[in-house]
Amino acid sequence: MLEQLNGHDDPHPVYERIRARGPLTRLGGQWVTTSHALANTILRDRRFGVRFADGTYPGTPNPVSESFLELDPPDHTRLRRLATPAFGPRRIDGYRPRVEKIADALLDRVDGEFDLMTDFATPLPIAVISELLGIPDADTGDFANYGRLVAESFDGRTTDAANRAIDRISALFERLIAERRANPGDDVISSLVAAEQDRKLTVPEALSTLTLLLIAGFETTVNLIGNGVRALLDHPAQWAFFKAHDGIAPDVVEETLRWAPPVHLTTRLAHEPVSLLGRDIGVDDGVCLLLAAANRDPEVYPEPERFDLMRVRKPEHLAFSSGIHYCLGATLARLEGEVALRAVARRLPDLRQAGPVTYRESVVIRGMASFPVSRS
């Protein structure tokens, strides 16, 4: 069933057909679950990992295959610990005035009809993560295209254009690493350079980690903002309520993440024989966790297909995963989503869709390529 999907389809009818087969079913050579409880359990279960039991990487390496996203402990623990301080809640909250300034500056430029994705949802998180990492503005012009190409590689599709984008990202970080060795600053690149000099990580590990932080730092947030605005415009009563009570911006972010998450699925591999729900999962068997389906599990969320800003936010959705791979940038993404959606509600109260949207090709990362809107 999953092979029927492409980036343009609404995947939820397929997810519901899979759900009808039970909480854990065999499909296309691997196990698949739509259950929130089971997906959450597997994400937290140390008997599962992101690599085969012998430590080898499953499938074609991608730009972050040596980053902590695609590693199991102990390497995952070591590398994630080095990146964590830059994304602590106190430090991230200190970025709020800067994020608000960027959002207002971007909205100052729009007039009449514009593309929400290219003119607002994309440049905002690119500017923020670039500043956090310490990347000069002059180097960020092609990041949106790089992110799209790299994200497509997560579907297992590698193109010459994607490889060229990866090479350019690597060259950029190699240059910035060399600069920080000579003149360290207060940014993530400098902290990783210091760790490399202390032999806490290798240069290839630093490059993969920086690529992950860059791409993940804006790719998912771009789609959070786009999906959130579209959900609001498609639900006029919710949009009107939000405009009248923009203090509920955090609730809008959480319901968007549940209802239209940027990341739709992930896979975990069994490191030992595991029995779940009476099914025997063998060593190196993959379990595809349909996070977007789990976020609409009717056993967890009443009327799960309904976009509801007043929904009780327990248990937490799985848009940011769970367990040791819980998204490091979740606090930053939430802050950017909250600021962006509040700015749109405040500055563009008459916003409306002005034409058909186009979707990205990716199945793993769900988002729009183009979203034409009009401010009046």
| CATH number, position 337 | 1.10.630.10
Quote the CA–CA distance of 325 and 48 in Å, as a whole number.
12
Q: Residue 272: which residues within 8 A CB-CB, separation 6 or more?
A: 47, 53, 283
Could you tell me how many residues make up the chain?
376
Please choose, from the candidates 370, 93, 352, the residue with its C-alpha nearest in 3D space to the C-alpha of residue 222. Answer: 370
| pLDDT for res 271 | 97
Pairing between strand 266-270 and 286-289?
Answer: antiparallel
**Mean pLDDT on 316-325:** 96
Q: In the chain, how many domains are there?
A: 1
The SS3 of residue 349 is coil
Q: Indicate if the pLDDT at residue 4 is higher than 70.
A: no
pLDDT band at residue 63 under the 50/70/90 scheme: low
Q: Is the pLDDT of residue 156 over 70?
A: no
pLDDT value, residue 28 = 83
- Which range marks the domain in which residue 217 is found? 2-374
Q: Check residue 157 and give its pLDDT.
A: 67
pLDDT at residue 223 tops 80: yes
- Give the pLDDT confidence score for residue 144 in this predicted structure: 77
Residue 125 CB-half CA count within 13 A: 32
Average pLDDT, the chain: 91
pTM: 0.93
Whole-number Å distance between alpha carbons of 286 and 271 = 10
Distance CA 87, CA 89 (A): 6
Q: Percentage of residues in the chain with pLDDT exceeding 90?
A: 71
| DSSP single-letter state for residue 364 | S
